[in-house]
Amino acid sequence: MSLEKKGDFGFDKIEKELSYLKQNQIAVGFFGEDDSLLLTVVRANEYGAHIVPKNTKYLWVPSSNAIHRYGKTVRARDVKGLFVPKGKHVACVFENGKSVVYFYLMSKSDIPARPFLRKSLDENKKKYGQIIKAGIEDVLYNNGTGKKLLSKLGITAVADIRRTLTRWTKPGNAPLTIANKKGQNDPLTDTGDLPKRVTWKIIPIGGKDE
């Protein structure tokens, strides 16, 4: 007796989709090919950072007065009439006959670790395993695709990271940072930039992204 294959059981397509999953993976997070500052900020928050001045004695940290007038990226060279009162670690300008602090002069700045990426993964990896299992079953039995599985995984992980970012409170901001933000203590979402910039993409294993 011999067995003869009749009809299309979809084996070729299943094999193709499983091969796609073997050759590709999902990357989730921040991609700074065109924005190295973004990656610097993410790294400093995820692992913490110890910042010291380079080629100068102090770090010049803008006050709320400077930020309000010149914006968050204000530098000392942007402000005319700056002076440092004797024995003080601030830089001021005269406004309406009074000295107004525009910069705090600091010998160092320590940023505590806020590992939001690792926290999000740890809290949700069981769910990701379930998504992968369901996705493979979809490929085997329901004409699903590998790309659909990876896309769902990426979309879900991005939402989880954003949720972790917006709920993060401890460690909070330094008192100076809180003062500059008018009492707000949302260390990872003060500008809203990090949650908006987290994204995902499919990349070949050992190669460049699609």
- Print the domain residue range for 31: 11-49+113-204
In a domain, 6, yes or no: no
Same domain, yes or no: 190 and 145? yes
Rounded (10°) angle between helices 36-47 and 116-141: 110
Give the pLDDT of the chain (210 residues) as one tens digit per residue.
Answer: 343 444 455 789 999 999 999 999 999 999 876 567 788 888 988 999 998 998 889 999 999 899 889 988 899 999 999 999 999 999 999 998 999 999 999 999 888 899 999 999 999 999 999 999 999 999 999 999 999 999 999 999 999 999 999 887 765 555 445 444 544 444 445 556 788 889 999 999 986 665
In a domain, 3, yes or no: no
- 102 shares its domain with 125: no
Specify whether 124 is located in the same domain as 189.
yes
Q: Which residues of 33-48 are buried (b: 16+ CB within 10 A; e: fewer)?
A: eeeeebeebbebbbee
pLDDT the model gives residue 7: 47
Same domain, 137 and 59: no
Examine the domain organization and report whether 84 and 121 are in the same domain: no
Number of structural domains in the chain: 2
- Same-domain check for residues 28 and 57: no
Same-domain pairing of 39 and 132: yes
Shared domain check, 96 and 198: no
> In the numeric block, which tokens belong to residue 94?
């005269």
Note whether 151 and 63 are same-domain residues.
Answer: no
Kindly state whether residue 210 falls inside one of the protein's structural domains. no
* Structural domain includes residue 74: yes
Do 140 and 43 share a structural domain? Answer: yes
Helix (H, G, I), strand (E, B) or coil at 187: coil
Residues 39, 90: one domain? no
